[in-house]
């Protein structure tokens, strides 16, 4: 019965708002992957990455891992140069250090699994490695619509910044170090059209307007600061995740016309500071409001 009720609530939430977020599995990296997919409308062709994943899967036998790496070298020998020119592949630097390091980088957020890149969301700053992973439950596409608006006139500058930072066609000389490392592992990208249809008649709610204003402020900050591209992407994704949380947690409040709650979010590492404790109480109050109004 609980599963049936959960599915009914999830389906209705997705019908009304475009996302589910009824699962604890959703991570910022899932949102980042889907957000870049919505912006660039591509996914990567990653046969090399699949071989890399097969060659670094801990639960596979050593012989299977070696065979996968050998196949990867044979099909793309020019990509590996001297690293692939070894008689003893089992003890090679490529097998013992380089490939495990790349897998660790791609899976830094705990969303890269098994041997299928298509079902993983990579900790990557380039849309070259975007996948079709559906684990975001529509969250990435929702944020893209929230920031993108319904026309070019309502498209926010933060999407232009996201597009520039994560472009799959960026010249290698302009790439950040991590993108430059990962780019040779992707053959190319293929088009991926969005699966949702935007209703042009929908108007932004007051909370959605405030979330859009927050995106404008972050974009202005990033343009003025011009930090490391990866740092900018991290903050953009963090804002996307916070925007999703605020939106989902305030649906009942906004529909009932209830008073706004102050939501203080602490970004420090001190979990016991007065600010952190106040932040915890604010979040608990917002979640409590949502629970009460949906019971």
Integer angstrom CA distances of residue 204 from 34, 42, 84, 241, 290: 22, 27, 55, 19, 20
Taking only Cα atoms into account, the Rg of the chain, rounded to an integer number of angstroms, comes to 21
Integer angstrom CA distances of residue 250 from 128, 246, 293, 294: 35, 6, 10, 11
Residue 36 clears pLDDT 90, i.e. is over it: yes
What is the structure's pLDDT at 195? 64
Question: 240 and 33 in contact (C-beta within 8 Å)?
Answer: no
Q: Which residues of 247-282 are buried (b: 16+ CB within 10 A; e: fewer)?
A: bbbbbbbeeeeeeeeeeeebeeeeeeeeebeebeeb
What is the structure's pLDDT at 14? 79
What is the structure's pLDDT at 260? 78
- pLDDT tens digits, one per residue of 139-178: 999 999 999 976 777 899 999 999 999 999 998 888 999 9
- pLDDT tens digits, one per residue of 85-111: 877 888 889 898 999 999 999 999 999
Residue 22 clears pLDDT 70, i.e. is over it: no
- pLDDT tens digits, one per residue of 188-206: 888 887 765 555 556 888 9
């Amino acid at each position: 019965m609980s599963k049936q009720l959960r599915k009914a609530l999830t389906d209705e939430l997705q019908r009304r708002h475009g996302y589910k977020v009824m699962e604890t599995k959703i991570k910022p990296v899932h949102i980042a992957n889907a957000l870049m997919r919505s912006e660039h409308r591509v996914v990567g062709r990653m046969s090399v990455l699949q071989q890399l994943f097969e060659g670094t899967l801990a639960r596979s036998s050593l012989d299977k891992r070696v065979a996968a790496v050998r196949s990867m070298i044979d099909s793309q020998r020019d990509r590996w140069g001297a690293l692939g020119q070894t008689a003893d592949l089992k003890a090679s630097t490529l097998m013992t250090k380089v490939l495990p390091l790349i897998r660790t980088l791609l899976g830094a957020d705990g969303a890269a699994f098994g041997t299928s890149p298509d079902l993983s969301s990579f900790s990557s700053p380039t849309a070259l490695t975007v996948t079709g992973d559906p684990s975001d439950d529509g969250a990435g596409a929702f944020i893209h619509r929230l920031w993108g608006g319904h026309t070019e006139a309502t498209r926010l500058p933060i999407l232009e910044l996201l597009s520039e930072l994560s472009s799959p066609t960026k010249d290698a000389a302009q790439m950040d170090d991590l993108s430059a490392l990962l780019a040779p592992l992707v053959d190319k990208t293929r088009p991926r059209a969005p699966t949702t249809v935007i209703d042009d008649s929908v108007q932004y709610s007051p909370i959605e307007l405030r979330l859009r204003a927050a995106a404008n402020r972050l974009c202005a900050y990033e343009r003025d600061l011009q930090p490391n591209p990866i740092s900018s992407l991290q903050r953009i994704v963090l804002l996307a995740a916070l925007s999703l949380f605020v939106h989902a947690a305030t649906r009942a409040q906004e529909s009932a016309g209830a008073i706004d709650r102050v939501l203080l979010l602490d970004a420090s590492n001190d979990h016991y500071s007065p600010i952190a404790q106040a932040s915890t109480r604010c979040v608990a109050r917002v979640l409590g409001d949502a629970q009460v109004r949906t019971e």
